[in-house]
Amino acid sequence: MKKNQLSPEEALVILNKGTEAAYSGKYTYHRAAGTYVCRQCDAPLYRSEDKFDADCGWPAFDDEISGAVHKSLDRDGQGAEITCANCDGHLGHVYVGERLTEKNTRHCVNSLSMRFIAQEKA
């Protein structure tokens, strides 16, 4: 599997399960149409139409592309960590039951874990 070279900041988040500072990510308020892909392996993760403003400090999505994200217990055993199903790169965490959208799910994702590919205009 092809893996992209990561900056030290990206490696801290993706490989070492770190978290970027709240409200510091380039995709926190990003609104363009397109697809968010894994920064490490380029696998598609999220569609822009599933992104919403949760005012949590990180990009939030209420759904993932089918089969793109793996969910597991976080290190502390309390929350659910999300990783890329293709390369196991750390993305962030998922929360259920907050009632922020009809899907009742919030994927809280580090901007450093993703790259955005704009939708081509027809």
Catalytic center residues: 108
Which amino acid type is present at position 8?
P
- Asked if residue 98 lies in contact with residue 34, where contact means CB atoms within 8 angstroms, the answer is no
**Three-state DSSP state, 26:** coil
Left, alpha or beta for 6 (phi > 0: left; psi -120 to 50: alpha)? Answer: beta
Largest CA distance in the chain: 46
